[in-house]
A = this chain, B = another copy of it.
Amino acid sequence: MQEMAVTYSIGEVAEMFGLSVPTIRYYDKEGLIPNLNKNAAGVRRFNEDNVSTLKIVECLKNAGMPIKDIKQFVQWTLQGDKTLNERSQMFQELRVSVQEQMKQLQETLDTINFKCAYYGKATSDGTEKYVKEEMHLN
């Protein structure tokens, strides 16, 4: 009474992640999806582990990490406990980096909000003239 392991085709995985099929092949080629099996005909079958790996790959991508560094991390995970320090340090540095990105993005949003107010007034005036005087304070 063995459970049949659930697997997914590359097209299904592409759909799940909103990525293109060639992009996923490219990630595989780059070594970002270790232990990805192929059937007798050479067709990729993704198991839950492979999907989990892709989830963390996506997280690291969203954090702005380049593919080669993501690959390094994946290699570390394959090497087991002896690379725990490297991985721990990587995530701590990444946290700082993402916090800085958030701060930068918030400043950008503040500026954009100011511009939205500026152009809101300007469009309702039909001209930049008055809002420019008002907001430049000159």
Q: Which residues of A line the B interface, CB within 8 A? A: 56, 59, 62-63, 80-81, 84-85, 87-88, 91-92, 94-95, 98-99, 101-102, 104-109, 111-113, 115-116, 119-120, 122-123, 126-129
Contact = CB atoms under 8 A, between A and B. Distances in A.
A130 to B, nearest CB: 11
B84 A119 contact: yes
A63 B123 contact: no
Contacts of A127: 81, 84
B95 A113 contact: yes
Report copies per complex.
2
A101 B105 contact: yes
Contact of A98 (B62, B81, B87, B109): B109
Contacts of A128: 80-81, 84
Nearest to A129: B81
Contacts of A84: 119, 122-123, 126-128
B91 A116 contact: yes
A99 B85 CA distance: 34
A117 to B, nearest CB: 9
